[in-house]
Amino acid sequence: MFKKRKGAYDNVLSEVDFNENVFGYSTYQWQSSDPSVEGDQQVLHGLCRMCMQGDCATSVHLEDGVVVKVEGREVPPNYGSLCPRGNSATMNLYNPYRVKTPLIRTNPEKGLEIDPKWKEVSWEEALDYTAKKLKEVRDEDPRGLAVCEGWGNRETIMRIPFRLAFGSPNEIGAHGSLCTVHYGTGLIHGNFPISVVDLEHCDYHITLGRSIGPNIATVPGTRKLTKALKRGMKLVVVDPRSSYEAAKGEWVPIRPGTDLAFLLGLAHSIIFDVQKYDIWFLKNRTNGPYLIDSQGDYLRDEETGKPMMWDLTDSQAKTFDAEFGEVALEGSFSVGKKEVKTGFQLIKEGFLEYTPEWAESISTVPAQDIRRIAGEFIEHARIGSTIEIEGFQFPYRPVSVNTERNVMNHRGGTYSDLVAKIINMLAGAIEVPGGCLGCGYRGPQALAPGPDGTMMPGYEAKDRPFVFPPDIGMHTFYPNSHTTPHLVAHALSDPEKYYLTYEVKAWLNIGGNIIKYNANPEQYVNMMRKIPFSVSIAYHMDEPTIMSDVVLPEHSFMERSRVAPFWPQHQAASYEVHALQMLQRRQPVKPIYNTMHVDDIFTELAERIGILYGENGMYDYLNKDVDYIIKENGLNLREPYLLDLNQKHTLAEIHELQVKSWKFGEGETMEDLERDGHIAKWQPKKTAYNYYYHPGNQTRHEFYIINLKKTADQLRQNLEKHQIQFPGVEDDSLVFDLYKPVPYWVPSSEFGVSEEYDLWAINWKTPYYSSDIGGVVGNPWLAEIYKKDPWEAVICLNSATAETKGIKDGDRVTVESRYGSLEGLVRISELFHPDAVGISGAYGMGTAQSNPLSKEGPLFNRLLTTKEDTLDSVSGGIEIAPCVRLIRKGGLS
């Protein structure tokens, strides 16, 4: 029987009454700390979380306390629609495979298929035991705790404050190695997470290896793309697979992993064939005219240290902010004893060899198509035109080329993104109506110039400081990387080689799946086996959870009370969302099992460890609103609505303070939010474009990517200073070669391999699987439809390729890369590039105690490697398109 506790949590954790519920599991009579659900409301304001977008507004309908329907609400950002995942949310709540009560392991042997021999325990026992173990680690060395997070629960507001109060620097994004998409956007847009097309104005959009909406069934993205297509926007989809989006535009099939070649060919064609680009933009809003010395650095004025440009009128170099007759965009000049060239000139010379014919030889995209697309892109850019929005004149450039993880997750992948940015800059289509826009942040900070006149790199393009000895994620050696679960695995397996000076003794998993969603799953299983104590705040018995010593079951998302500031991510781009400031509310349904709200779990643990109260306690960090990279979870608490550091607070109290502190609010209260489910305010439309804050020549983007060179120079110096080698690579030129300021062709690690491996495997997200947030893989309603989809969870092959190999539709084959293999059923189609082997989503694997559905289908990630010499050293990303061979049952084909 659960022991009654005194204090502010009385109303959450009291009166436990272990009844048998419909599923036959013990639960307790829940009494909400949330006034909204204390009555018998029949319709609740919901907030979907069946994908990372997590902002579609829903109505949750109940009958006799049972959820009978979830539907979209007619408010932003989804305006009534839900995708297949959102529609299946009911089954997320009533999933019989959830963890239903706290568990402590009794079997010391660990493995995905080994029964942990769980002991069901009370919350009191689970929390006391976990806190005692974590406290022991903290007393010895707080760095001994690693917190591993992921999209499974990014809603928690207390994960980061808990870790900081604990004193551990080690947060690991479980998801990072296959999602390295942020550098270019941080550098060119000062934004996060990626850059998106302005679908409200764009007329010609080239999209490479990414999804705008329909491919992953993102509701706001699909709405906006549909409108843009109706309006007549031309869509060019460069992809080895003819996706749903490709079907709505021109499909340009490309050989997997060769997008950099295509993009270099496109840039070449604009410069040398079309010979038309936005000279005003390049001269005024980029560092293209800056003079570069023979070392590749800016020529600087001796007195002021400022970068210089060449004035054609009086033939001399001047600081960039001086008065100019006519700025030189191209050319070579002598300044004193120095021979210098403009940044633009160097890029132009660098791109000379990348003719469309050359690009065709690598990417298979016909040279004539590359030339045509280059011409159409520039034609649609309307160079020189303007548009007035609310009395403000913007350049109007309705074109954009965008890339994402399937283009960037290769050695050289950061260059692909940067070449796409260069193409947008050639058209003048950066941060202006119609063009390519940073996704998340709107305001003066994004494009703010530094002392060199160029905008300050933001987010991951801003170097992390060189800290030695390094953290377990090795960010010291990869200062611009995304999260690096793979490097953590390497470092923990060989601490000395990676200069680690302390041990990881405790692991806290919260909604991340380090095992399944990266490469080489076994390495993470081995790593987790060696960690002395691990705890998982879990929804179901996924791979990291079955490896744990303690399982703390959390509420499913519909049971989680939430107040969330809206933060546009990934695909959503238009005035509708980009000028929108919104608070959203999720009224929770009553929990059906013996679970807790994730943030109540953190509070209870923090209190027991002794890190909840006082200065540098968890509440203090909540008040400080530590600089979250994604502000979506930031509380933004401010005077006089801060938490009292010496008193325990319920979540309901914190939500109340959050609403009162909301910086776009005008005195709204929790009642307002409770009544309407959201508070929405649109800022003036012109502020949806960051150009507005720094117009004309008030800021510049890096066309010549000097930031890469600066980072590499510093990294080299630091390695020398500490007299250390770059860990994990034999030859560090493999690393430094990717930091050159002029992008160039870098073949991925999967080219030039033995001829046996004659195809390349590719992967994509789908309307059913966008990641496993909400446990979509085990959702029976979704399974009912994904099992009918011929392309889901199978091995897709082009018909001609299949014929040459004697493979027929329905055959079983093994797909083998140099690193791993998988088996599956073949589906044949004209809609795949002849060199591609397509495997969607992330099916397969599972554990001894997970939903059997999670074991079905091939797991693409088994084909991948995390070896350092295959990485993109700038982003830290792993190779996503491995070369493979097919083995048909009964022999090699």
Ligand X SMILES: Nc1nc2c(c(=O)[nH]1)N[C@H]1C(S)=C(S)[C@@H](COP(=O)(O)OP(=O)(O)OC[C@H]3O[C@@H](n4cnc5c(=O)[nH]c(N)nc54)[C@H](O)[C@@H]3O)O[C@H]1N2
For tokens 């929390």, name the residue.
Answer: 127
Is residue 879 near ligand X by the rule CB under 6 A? Answer: no
Is residue 195 near ligand X by the rule CB under 6 A? Answer: no
Nearer to ligand X, 406 or 870 (CB): 406
Please give the DSSP secondary-structure letter assigned to residue 177. G
Which residue has the closest beta carbon to ligand SF4?
Answer: 86
Q: Choose, by CB under 6 A, the member of 283, 475, 597, 765 that binds ligand X.
A: 765
Residue 563: which of Mo ion, ligand SF4, ligand X, none does it interact with, CB under 5 to 8 A by kind? none
Q: How many residues touch ligand X (CB under 6 A)? A: 61
- For ligand SF4, which stretch binds (CB under 6 A), given 49-57, 306-314, 356-364, 539-547? 49-57
- For ligand X, which stretch binds (CB under 6 A), given 10-18, 214-222, 442-450, 743-751? 214-222
Q: Choose, by CB under 6 A, the member of 538, 564, 815, 883 that binds ligand X.
A: 538
Residues 6+ apart with CB under 8 A from 107: 114, 115, 116, 117
For residues 446 to 485, the per-residue mask of contacts with ligand X, x marking binding by CB under 6 A and - elsewhere, is ----------------------------------------
Q: In DSSP terms, which residues pair with 333 in a beta bridge? A: 340
Give least dist CB 776 to ligand SF4, A.
8
Is residue 51 near Mo ion by the rule CB under 5 A? Answer: no
Helices (H), 232-342: 259-268, 279-285
Is residue 407 near ligand X by the rule CB under 6 A? Answer: yes
Distance CA 49, CA 6 (A): 33
Is residue 363 near ligand X by the rule CB under 6 A? Answer: no
Half-sphere exposure of 711 (CA within 13 A, CB side): 30
Nearer to ligand SF4, 220 or 256 (CB): 220
Q: Choose, by CB under 6 A, the member of 73, 85, 105, 649 that binds ligand SF4.
A: 85
Give least dist CB 285 to ligand X, A.
27
- On whether the CB atoms of residues 836 and 242 are closer than 8 A, the answer is no
Q: Please give the angle made by the CA atoms of 142, 148 and 150, to the nearest 5 degrees.
A: 150
For residues 426 to 455, the per-residue mask of contacts with ligand SF4, x marking binding by CB under 6 A and - elsewhere, is ------------------------------
Is residue 162 near ligand X by the rule CB under 6 A? Answer: no
Q: In DSSP terms, which residues pair with 852 in a beta bridge? A: none
Terminal Cα-to-Cα distance of the chain (whole angstroms): 63
Which of 385, 401, 402, 404 minimizes the C-alpha distance to 393? 385
Is residue 362 near ligand X by the rule CB under 6 A? Answer: no
CB environment 808-845: b (16+ within 10 A), e (fewer): eeebebbbbbbbbebebebbbbebbbbbbbbbbbbbbb
Residue 333, helix vs strand vs coil: strand
Nearer to ligand X, 476 or 770 (CB): 770
Distance CA 80, CA 98 (A): 29
Residue 82: which of ligand X, ligand SF4, Mo ion, none does it interact with, CB under 5 to 8 A by kind? ligand SF4
Nearer to ligand SF4, 100 or 765 (CB): 765
For residues 148 to 187, the per-residue mask of contacts with Mo ion, x marking binding by CB under 5 A and - elsewhere, is -------------------------------x--------
Nearer to ligand SF4, 56 or 131 (CB): 56
Rule CB under 6 A: which of 378-407 touch ligand SF4?
none
C-alpha distance from residue 745 to each of 190, 346, 521 (Å): 25, 15, 31
Distance CA 238, CA 240 (A): 7
Q: Choose, by CB under 6 A, the member of 13, 44, 82, 515 that binds ligand SF4.
A: 82
- For ligand SF4, which stretch binds (CB under 6 A), given 48-56, 166-174, 559-567, 864-872? 48-56
Give least dist CB 572 to ligand SF4, A.
10
Give least dist CB 838 to Mo ion, A.
19
CA 556, chain centre distance (Å): 22
Is residue 596 near Mo ion by the rule CB under 5 A? Answer: no
Give least dist CB 359 to ligand SF4, A.
35
CA 742, chain centre distance (Å): 26
Q: Choose, by CB under 6 A, the member of 51, 157, 546, 592 that binds ligand SF4.
A: 51
Is residue 557 near ligand X by the rule CB under 6 A? Answer: yes
Distance CA 702, CA 461 (A): 12
Residue 568, helix vs strand vs coil: coil
Helices (H), 575-683: 575-578, 598-609, 618-624, 651-661, 670-676
Residue 75, helix vs strand vs coil: coil
Residue 54: which of Mo ion, ligand SF4, ligand X, none does it interact with, CB under 5 to 8 A by kind? ligand SF4
Distance CA 820, CA 51 (A): 28
Rule CB under 6 A: which of 46-105 touch ligand X?
51-53
Distance CA 316, CA 452 (A): 19
Is residue 207 near ligand X by the rule CB under 6 A? Answer: no
Give least dist CB 121 to ligand X, A.
19
Q: In DSSP terms, which residues pair with 681 in a beta bridge? A: 581
Which of 562, 732, 573 minimizes the C-alpha distance to 185? 573
Half-sphere exposure of 246 (CA within 13 A, CB side): 17
For tokens 């994990």, name the residue.
Answer: 728
Is residue 544 near ligand SF4 by the rule CB under 6 A? Answer: no
CA 510, chain centre distance (Å): 17
Nearer to Mo ion, 551 or 839 (CB): 839
Is residue 150 near ligand X by the rule CB under 6 A? Answer: yes
Residues 6+ apart with CB under 8 A from 671: none
Residue 524, helix vs strand vs coil: helix
Q: Choose, by CB under 6 A, the member of 239, 417, 632, 811 that binds ligand X.
A: 239
Is residue 527 near ligand X by the rule CB under 6 A? Answer: no
Residue 50: which of ligand SF4, ligand X, Mo ion, none does it interact with, CB under 5 to 8 A by kind? ligand SF4
Is residue 156 near ligand X by the rule CB under 6 A? Answer: no
What is the DSSP track for 706-731? HHHHHHHHHHHHHHHHTT-PPTT-S-
- On whether the CB atoms of residues 526 and 80 are closer than 8 A, the answer is no
Give least dist CB 514 to ligand X, A.
7
Residue 378: its H or E element: helix 367-380
Which of 669, 838, 696 minimizes the C-alpha distance to 763? 838
- On whether the CB atoms of residues 207 and 449 are closer than 8 A, the answer is no
Give least dist CB 578 to ligand SF4, A.
17
Helices (H), 393-450: 405-408, 413-426
Nearer to ligand X, 453 or 775 (CB): 775
Give least dist CB 113 to ligand X, A.
16
For tokens 């839900």, name the residue.
Answer: 82
Q: Choose, by CB under 6 A, the member of 264, 329, 550, 762 that binds ligand X.
A: 762
Tokens of 407: 């283009």
Q: Choose, by CB under 6 A, the member of 98, 159, 175, 585 that binds ligand X.
A: 175
Residue 201: which of Mo ion, ligand SF4, ligand X, none does it interact with, CB under 5 to 8 A by kind? none
Is residue 218 near ligand SF4 by the rule CB under 6 A? Answer: yes
Give least dist CB 213 to ligand SF4, A.
9
- Specify the amino acid at residue 551: V
Q: Is the peptide bond before 640 cis (omega within 30 degrees of 0)?
A: yes
- Contacts with Mo ion by CB under 5 A lie at 179
- Contacts with ligand X by CB under 6 A lie at 51-53, 150-153, 174-175, 178-179, 181, 208-211, 215-216, 218, 238-241, 243, 254, 256-257, 259, 404-407, 510-513, 517, 537-539, 542, 554, 556-557, 570-571, 762-765, 770-775, 841-842, 860-861, 881
- Contacts with ligand SF4 by CB under 6 A lie at 48, 50-51, 53-54, 56, 78, 82-83, 85-86, 218-219
